[in-house]
Structure 1
Amino acid sequence: MFISSNRQSRSEILNFIELIQRFGVSYHFEQEIEEALAKIQSIYTSNNNILIMHQDGDDDLHSLALLFRLLRQHGYPISSDVFERFKDDKGEFNINQNLTKDVKGMLALYEAAQLEVHGENIFDEALHFTYTHLKSLTDNNQLSPILNAQVSHCLNQPLHKRLLRLAARHYMSSYQRQHPSPNHTIMLLNFAKLDFNMLQKLHRKELGNITKLVGKLAAIIVFLDDTYDVYGKLEELEPFTEAIHRFKCLIKYLPECMKVVFEAVVELCSEMEMVTAKQGTSTFVMPHVKPAFFNLANACLMEAEWCHEHYVPSYEEYKDNGAASSAFPLLLSSFLGLGNLATKVVFEWLATDPKIIRTVSTIGRLKDDMVTHKFEQEREHVASGVDCCMNQFGASEEEAYKMLNDDIKNCWKDINEQCLNNPHNVPKSVLDCVINLARTSEVVYENQQDRFTDGESLKHYVVQLLL
């Protein structure tokens, strides 16, 4: 089917690539996809990366937006100027071109715009244009039930920000509802289902291995957070932080409950040391993991001091510290260190404090802040990102939420930029792990829900992925 699609028009090739990606089976065809996209990119772009129009008559909005998204997704530097042709003399997206009736095209443009980088103002306009018109169509029930559900799902969480296995599971069910009668893709759909079920078995096995160490790590991070956030007194937290810095328990200064937490940290690090020693990676993994524990503890101590002094930091000061207190850098270095992605080159890159990791950590921190802000106001708590915005800029709560959401949008632009440029030539599999942490934040805090605290609300996702 793939070979056959390569003899067809550009849009048919792209639609086939899109379908196998949406079905979650594109990892079987990575080389074929790269070759097909490289060929398209070389034929359809000029020297300055501007797409040449009207080559085979399939440059409608949907085809062009899909082409843009797939090429940029795979690291090809395509200019957003290709969408200028859909604007009118006033520089606005032209309603008279019947764009608002082209639901498929608007959906494709909305998805393509998620891969924007800084300075691409056309995508700010495109997002406003597509979201406004698509939302109006769903709110007024002007679409068929199946299409309405598809549009609502996309507007709620675009593909670029979804966890890809969950997205594949949803798409297979949705596709089957849209195409109930047999057609030429039924074989591909059946293949995708079988592949998904085979991967479920592998993932269940992997999950057993992951929970032995990463599960403990997640629990210990919560212990640390609660120690600094709720239970510890400042005069106890300072020697506790120093103990983590030295990895030596200052027994006479610590209460019993903190000794237990400290010993859990030491025990986990010892276990990680044994695992990485067997892998032959401990010499470059552990020197990174131990400081990551201290960086987390130090950031939590800073927040405890702010809370004790009733100090509200500037928004930028809060974000700088919040990236570390999110625990994402520790999670990433530990997760990468325990698998086959652990190489000296990767850990040398981690040691540079990469911008993409700080960016992903900021998304996690700000998403959490917006969801937990009202609950945390019920007790004494360090100022959150919402509070810092309100205090520094004299903003209302609603305005502060908008500022945080705008910041998260800019963070995604940073992520897209880092993936396109990739100055350190970091393996794509490693970058995918980093981006998936940002996607996890989008899922965990989707629709202003705190699914981190209320784990039960993630249960249906676990069932979909593993059962």
Structure 2
Amino acid sequence: MDMIDSLQRLGVAYHFEEEITESLSKLNENTLSDHGDLNATALRFRLLRQHRYYVSCDVFNKFRDEKGSFSSSLQSDVKGLLSLYEAAYLALPGEDLLDEVIIFTTTHLKSLVDRLEKPLAKKVLHALEVPSHRRMKRLEARLYISLYEDDDEARNDVILELAKLDFHLLQSLHREEVKNLSLWYHDLGVKTKLTYARDRMVECYFWVLGVYYEPYYSRARMMMAKFMKLFSLIDDTYDSYGTLEELQPLTDVIQRWDEKAAAGLGECYELLIRVLFGTVKESEKELAPEGKSYRVNYIVEMIKKGTQGMLQETKWRDEKYVPPLQDHLQITLFTCLYMALGCASFLGMGPEATEEAFKWASSNPKIAKAIATICRLLDDVVGHEFETGRNNVATAVTCYMKENNASLEEASETLLKMIEDAWKDTNHEYLKLTCLPTSLLMPYVNLARMMEILYRECDKYTNVHLLKEYIELVLVKPISF
């Protein structure tokens, strides 16, 4: 189990998919393995849930006393506590025990960390910063290679060498991809003409790299990154530039999907429409030889729905209307375009992305709503002060405060709880949707993970200097051999 965990965290598990699947299938069938110590029990639980096997959280009851509290003897078992802490983040709705686990393990790990030897102390601090289940996998690989290298007890030098070489080779591929995307974006002429828009092509690629990093997803990354950049341009146009009088006809053009009707909208809007329609046509052309150009139509429909909602947000902004939270979310879960991004992740995929899969993704399934909830609420919590200061549309925080006569702290606490509930829904759907392959569900989980990287504590997409270190680690700085 330790080797499987290391291979996954080092980012090289994709080389051993068949072997890992076979090993975990046997582990799932071996119920005797439930009788291990805390570290083994928690690691088995986490590995199996990560691979979509249901394991009851009741396996942890044996570590509780007759009063239901966790045994005091566990407080000195640092490896066991760390493993239990990591496992608890795969919680499903209703698993209150795992909420208790997070509080219990966090408290004791924080109290112990200053007294630990360096390799283990580093691993504990790494986990307390962001648990493994919520980390961007490419960034995790880069950071975990250093942790693994320092651990003389657990390190396998052959695996370490493989991880470093694999990271180096993939980094070269990823650099080439981001270079080509930057050239594509430069040729659009957007940077000099849509000066209100955030110049974030590299950051969009970094975001998509968090969705899938493996070499066989190269085309999928390129196509998704282009649409992500389009979504960012659309968002900035509605959110930071356009007036209601200008955005109404722009929205009408998008709803009718009539490029010629953009004539007379104004230079910025005409360019946006050219870029949008041009990227759609380019994607259709690329997919046409495989008979898959229909895939793009599903993204177009989701763009239409998103821009309809953005227009409604503009009306709310101008009217200074603060809707009830649920009314707000009925619109903003679509305007954040995170559900559209989930669908866009399928564009460049192989045959597993069937038309049925696109119909499912565009039907607003529960996992898509869950990741959109994480996106919308986390963005609103960290961006509340900024958005309020520029008199933008009311955030979810403002909506909750007005509806419930609540303080900022109470509203933030409630919304953060809703984010945790959405994570549990994401975990549940990932386990439950056995009719879909893992390759189609993992992008949704990874999109949720990227919100933790980009928006937990602050908006790193807007304040891009805060993202610089992560981007350099993944795309710029070579790994040392």
TM-score (norm 2): 0.85
The answer to whether the aligner puts 1:436 opposite 2:407 as a matched pair is no
Q: Which amino acid aligns with 1:385?
A: A
Partner in structure 1 of residue 59 of structure 2:
82
Paired-residue identity, %: 39
Partner in structure 1 of residue 168 of structure 2:
197
The answer to whether the aligner puts 1:451 opposite 2:460 as a matched pair is yes
Partner in structure 1 of residue 318 of structure 2:
308
Distance 2:60 2:148 in 1: 28
Distance 2:155 2:454 in 1: 37
Contact 2:302 2:362 in 1 (8 A): no
Distance 1:374 1:309 in 2: 20
Distance 2:439 2:263 in 1: 46
Shift of 1:64: 0.6
Q: Which amino acid aligns with 1:310?
A: K
Distance 2:314 2:297 in 1: 26
Distance 2:40 2:345 in 1: 38
Partner in structure 1 of residue 191 of structure 2:
none
Q: Relative CO higher for 1 or 2, CA cutoff 8 Å, sep ≥ 6?
A: 2
The answer to whether the aligner puts 1:115 opposite 2:90 as a matched pair is yes
Partner in structure 2 of residue 129 of structure 1:
104
Shift of 1:148: 2.9
Deviates more, 1:251-260 or 1:264-273: 251-260
Distance 2:474 2:151 in 1: 22
Distance 1:67 1:335 in 2: 30
Deviates more, 1:160-169 or 1:453-462: 453-462
Q: Which amino acid aligns with 1:113?
A: A
Q: Which amino acid aligns with 2:151?
A: Q
Partner in structure 1 of residue 143 of structure 2:
170
248, 255, 261: which one pairs with 1:238? 248
Q: Which amino acid aligns with 1:328?
A: Y
Contact 1:239 1:253 in 2 (8 A): no
Contact 2:88 2:98 in 1 (8 A): yes
Mark the runs of 5 or more structure 2 residues left unpaired by the alignment. Answer: 185-222, 477-481
Distance 1:377 1:348 in 2: 37
Contact 1:68 1:78 in 2 (8 A): yes
Structure 1 residues 283-302: aligned runs within 5 Å = 283=294, 285-302=295-312
410, 414, 422: which one pairs with 1:399? 410
Distance 2:231 2:10 in 1: 35
How many residue pairs get aligned? The number is: 435
Task: Find the residue that maps to 1:254 and give its secondary structure.
Answer: coil
Shift of 1:209: 5.5
Distance 2:231 2:41 in 1: 45
Q: Which amino acid aligns with 2:101?
A: A
Distance 1:242 1:461 in 2: 39
Distance 2:283 2:155 in 1: 49
Larger Rg: 1
Shift of 1:154: 0.6
Distance 1:342 1:202 in 2: 23
Deviates more, 1:73-82 or 1:249-258: 249-258
Partner in structure 2 of residue 328 of structure 1:
338
Contact 1:281 1:342 in 2 (8 A): no
How has the CA–CA distance of structure 1 residues 192 and 116 changed in structure 2, closer, same or farther, with 3 Å as cutoff? same
Partner in structure 2 of residue 188 of structure 1:
159
Contact 2:401 2:407 in 1 (8 A): yes
Contact 1:275 1:338 in 2 (8 A): no
Structure 1 residues 220-235: aligned runs within 5 Å = 220-235=230-245
Distance 1:444 1:418 in 2: 23
How has the CA–CA distance of structure 1 residues 163 and 366 changed in structure 2, closer, same or farther, with 3 Å as cutoff? same
Contact 1:106 1:130 in 2 (8 A): yes
Deviates more, 1:108-117 or 1:260-269: 260-269
Contact 1:24 1:165 in 2 (8 A): yes
Distance 1:215 1:60 in 2: 44
Q: Which deviations, in whole Å up to 9, do the C-alpha atoms of 1:37-83 show, x marking residues without a partner?
A: 222221216xxxxx753xxxxx1111110011111111111111011
458, 462, 467: which one pairs with 2:471? 462
Partner in structure 2 of residue 73 of structure 1:
50
Shift of 1:331: 2.6
The answer to whether the aligner puts 1:362 opposite 2:373 as a matched pair is yes
Distance 2:225 2:48 in 1: 37
Partner in structure 2 of residue 43 of structure 1:
30
Distance 1:281 1:190 in 2: 40
How has the CA–CA distance of structure 1 residues 264 and 422 changed in structure 2, closer, same or farther, with 3 Å as cutoff? same
